[in-house]
Structure 1
Amino acid sequence: MWSSEHLDLDAYLTHLGHEGDRAPTLDTLRAVQRAHVLTLGWDTLDSFLYQDVRLDVPSIQDKLVRRGRGGYCYEHTLLFAAALEKLGFRFTAVSGRVQLGADSTTPRPPTHAMLIVDVEGTRRLVDVGFGASPLEPIDLTDGARSEAGPWPYLLRRQIITHGSPGWAVHQLGDGPEGPEGWTVRQVFTETPQYPIDYAVGNHFVATHPRSPFVTRPYVQRLSTDRHDTLDALVWTTERPGGEAPVTETVPPPKVPQLLADVFGIRTDPQEAELLVARLTELDRQS
């Protein structure tokens, strides 16, 4: 179903630096998820520059693995799903609604792709496509936490959008939705999703004029001690431990080099030229 026959698994795992066991175990899942999140880039450049994001596995692998570009949740999740399918894992795809900064009474569309993996008698949430993603699977039980990365996450079973029961992923923040200073990052139900469902959501995210990924570029890189983002021309570095974020406005001509040096995102000369031109236009309109 997830087109794993088109995936070069050896090339994918080699790029991730995974030399361990390939058996469909929890240890394998943890290792591959961590390597995927920390290695592969995250960006929305294709939707910003071209309003065209391809979701076939060969295109995603060429873009994220071979060409050194990044992608967003649909690309990351479909690539990871193909890898899990080829490794022999059983899983269900789901869609979530990102809630950060949104009123839950006026929900955003369910355009965040995730997986629920059945492994060793447990069901675990795997989210490799958020950019600042958890570095490990999260047990699908109320109150489960992830402490593997620089920032913790909390999973709660609760009433979500419009009174429906479901799950909420919490991150540390100042919102009122969660306990102990937690705030809701995204909510989801366990309704199974299929590649065609992701194709529909991807079309909205990549092409709709109200999609934030169409109106400006957004780039992320997570490491074990920092999280960098580029939102249009604003570069922000956050570190765990309560340090204040460091923010800088970057001139459009310097963005391609910043992408390479800080985010590990490679753009070819033609794409870099187009990006600078579009960012210059965006800057003039602001």
Structure 2
Amino acid sequence: MFDAQIGNEGAAAAVDLNAYFERIGYDGPCEPTMATLCAITRLHPDAIPFENLDVLLGRGISLAPADVAAKLITAGRGGYCYEQNGLLKRSLEGVGFQVQGLIARVQWMQPKGAPPRPRSHMVLGVTLEGETWLVDAGFGGCVLTAPLRLFSDAVQETPHGRFRIVDVQTGGVVERQVQADLSGHWSPLYQVAQGAWTDIDYEQVNYFTYTHPSSHFTWSMTVGRTTATARYALKNNRFTQRDVTGALVEQRDLTVEELEATLRDVIGLPVGAGWRPVLEKVVAWGTAV
């Protein structure tokens, strides 16, 4: 039976909530209510983009709380799931929520019948009002902008489309598969595994993610931001914009200059002078990677 028990291991290191709230633009009450959880999960993906630029720049990805805060809060950067959800976990715990880290098996955009991928995606389980809520600020162009009931099979509405979570079996193990409604088709995002993970458990999968040749983060650029009115995504130099229903608004390939401007003006990243060689490489890779 799927373990629905979510505890609270406590924040390993306190987060500066005032700085985090300022970063995401949250000015509501600091109390563990559903209204607070919904506001934070809506604002975080708008303010803190998904991005893997540091991997392509040859930098290691530290999960130390101070390093994550310095990058995602102070420096105005983004990050991928371990950074994003690590920061979100500590912030929610600081507010007073009960939070546990979970692990998921990504299936997004995989062909039907593809072999199972290893569990590598960090998500969160929040216990509130007698239920476990799935929270995820680190899934790129299809990031959640509202908490979802992890153990409900019902269709769940969010500010950016409809989702549902259903039981599936992989290797005889029951997992909860998160699906998004894409133009009337239920497309799987990932499967959430049984059991909670402690912070140290993510160190090995994080190292694999930013170093191993089979990890797409080591040989392609993935960037995403979700605002109140749109979802923006970059896969190398292919720019995609969708509205809140998921309908395609624009898709085109960018030049180096356009890519730099999009990262700065649309995604909201502080583009560094040393990024230019990587952006040139990304454009050369194109969408064939």
Query: 1:201: which partner in 2?
Result: 205
Query: 2:3: which partner in 1?
Result: none
Q: Establish whether residue 99 from structure 1 lines up as the match of residue 107 from structure 2.
A: yes
Q: Higher mean Cα deviation, 239-248 or 223-232? A: 239-248
CA distance 1:148–1:173, shift in 2 (3 Å): closer
Query: 1:148: which partner in 2?
Result: 158
Query: 2:6: which partner in 1?
Result: none
Query: 1:254: which partner in 2?
Result: 258
Post-superposition shift, 1:277? 4.1
Query: 2:117: which partner in 1?
Result: 108
Question: Aligned equivalents of 2:271 and 2:125: distance in 1?
Answer: 33
Q: Higher mean Cα deviation, 251-260 or 114-123? A: 251-260
Post-superposition shift, 1:46? 1.1
| Larger fraction in helix | 1
Question: Aligned equivalents of 2:215 and 2:94: distance in 1?
Answer: 33
Question: Aligned equivalents of 1:122 and 1:164: distance in 2?
Answer: 22
Q: What is the TM-score when the length of structure 1 is the normalising length? A: 0.89
Q: What is the TM-score when the length of structure 2 is the normalising length? A: 0.88
Q: Percent identity?
A: 27
Post-superposition shift, 1:241? 4.5
CA deviation map 1:49-103 (0-9, x unaligned): 2152111111111211221211111101100111122222112211001112335
Question: Aligned equivalents of 2:81 and 2:139: distance in 1?
Answer: 6
- What secondary structure is seen at the aligned counterpart in 1 of 2:251? strand
Q: Which amino acid aligns with 1:276?
A: L
Q: Higher mean Cα deviation, 95-104 or 69-78? A: 95-104
CA distance 1:105–1:248, shift in 2 (3 Å): closer
Question: Aligned equivalents of 1:69 and 1:89: distance in 2?
Answer: 25
Post-superposition shift, 1:274? 3.3
Query: 1:183: which partner in 2?
Result: 187
CA distance 1:154–1:36, shift in 2 (3 Å): same
Q: Higher mean Cα deviation, 184-193 or 243-252? A: 243-252
Aligned residues: 279
CA deviation map 1:111-141 (0-9, x unaligned): 1111111112221111111123222111122
Query: Can you give the 5+ residue segments of structure 1 that lack an aligned partner in the other structure?
Result: 175-179
Identify the match of residue 35 of structure 1 among 24, 28, 43: 43
Q: Which amino acid aligns with 2:169?
A: I
CA deviation map 1:170-208 (0-9, x unaligned): 11238xxxxx62121110123111112211111111111
CA deviation map 1:214-262 (0-9, x unaligned): 1011111112322111111111112245744522111124322210111
